Amino acid sequence: MAAQAARLSGDFGDPADHPATGQVRELLDQVIAIREATDGEFDLPSLAKRAELLAAAHDTLAAALED
């Protein structure tokens, strides 16, 4: 209800303050760490894990937009 009132009033706040921002940042940090650990080599398990993390980041952002 508060999110709907904020939308209607045009008060969107600072996106950096939204909980989803921190969650997505953590997920992306994990993606970067995995990429750096594989040192540019093709590694199917790490690619699958990165895809899983990116999908989770997408889902987090999509849920935040629905709020």
Position 24 scores a pLDDT of 96
Q: Is residue 9 part of a domain?
A: no
Position 18 scores a pLDDT of 87
Q: Is residue 59 part of a domain?
A: yes
pLDDT in tens, 2-54: 556 555 566 677 878 889 999 999 999 999 999 999 987 899 999 999 999 99
What are phi and psi for residue 11, nearest 5 degrees?
Answer: -90, 95
Q: For the chain, how long is the longest CA-to-CA vector?
A: 50
Domains of the chain: total? 1
Q: Is residue 13 part of a domain?
A: no
Q: Is residue 7 part of a domain?
A: no
Residue 61 reports pLDDT greater than 60: yes
Residue 1 reports pLDDT greater than 60: no
- Can you give the residue range of the structural domain that contains 59? 23-67
Chain mean position to CA 18: 11
Spatial contact of 4 and 30, defined as CB atoms under 8 Å apart:
no
Position 56 scores a pLDDT of 98
Q: What is the reported pTM?
A: 0.75
Spatial contact of 18 and 6, defined as CB atoms under 8 Å apart:
no
Spatial contact of 18 and 60, defined as CB atoms under 8 Å apart:
no
